[in-house]
A and B are shown apart, each in its own frame.
Chain A
Amino acid sequence: DGGITQSPKYLFRKEGQNVTLSCEQNLNHDAMYWYRQDPGQGLRLIYYSQIVNDFQKGDIAEGYSVSREKKESFPLTVTSAQKNPTAFYLCASSPDRGTYNEQFFGPGTRLTVL
């Protein structure tokens, strides 16, 4: 089955700890994205990558870091510098089809910082 997987589904961490969220896709998509979702605020873009070994900051990159060493993997690290990290995190990927940008989403990871 082709798709995007995120793990774990629920994650609990103590304040001040870094945590890494996993995102893997076997769709052979070039582009991958990380979004943060808070109630009533829609999706906000954290980072995106259009190709291996390259990534760009989104609208709310402060306190987050990413890597793109392999086409199929785009892990997100939430650092202790992120002031309010409790949220639902969504990973997505898309093939390169010009201006048509259908994004395929993973099931999400709910991070709670205690």
Chain B
Amino acid sequence: GEDVEQSLFLSVREGDSSVINCTYTDSSSTYLYWYKQEPGAGLQLLTYIFSNMDMKQDQRLTVLLNKKDKHLSLRIADTQTGDSAIYFCAESSGSARQLTFGSGTQLTVLP
């Protein structure tokens, strides 16, 4: 079945850029998503990218997609302490109306 993988932890200094990486296996993925989860809360959609794009920028967020390598990344510029959270990548494909999530990356922003 489809698989989405992420590293579990990332620490950065406040003001630096953070880059969270994700790899996926489903070559028929149509959309890829980044969700943010704050402690004890549900997930919130941050951004998404359609599979025929290779980059999308939204304020401090930049998403890069390498479809050939099935690699997705999320760059957060000028990372703040409020960005500390778990970040999930997810993919959807076909008509199954399901998302496949990665295991999540815990981002810790150090002062």
Contacts and interface: CB of A to CB of B under 8 A. Distances in A.
Contact of B42 (A40, A100, A102, A106): A106
Nearest to A105: B42
A63 B48 CA distance: 33
A2 interface: no
Interface stretch (A41-49, A66-74, A78-86): A41-49
Interface string A39-65: 011110100101000000010000000
A58 B98 CA distance: 9
Contact of A102 (B40, B41, B48): B48
Contacts of B40: 108, 110
A41 B92 contact: no
A48 B98 contact: yes
Given A102-B45, A105-B43, A40 B101 contact: no
Contact of B103 (A40, A99, A107): A40
Interface residues of B, number: 24
A101 B97 contact: yes
Contacts of A43: 43, 88, 101
A99 B95 contact: yes
Contacts of B41: 107-108
A94 interface: yes
A41 B103 contact: yes
B71 to A, nearest CB: 18
Interface string B93-109: 11101110111100000
A11 to B, nearest CB: 14
Nearest to A4: B42
Contacts of B103: 40-42
Contact of A45 (B88, B98, B104): B98
Contact of A42 (B30, B45, B48, B104): B104
Nearest to A35: B101
Report, nearest first, the 7 A-B pairs whose CB atoms are least far apart.
A105-B42, A42-B103, A101-B92, A99-B30, A43-B101, A105-B43, A42-B101
Interface of A: 4, 31, 33, 35, 40-43, 45, 48, 50, 58, 90, 92, 94, 96, 99-108, 110
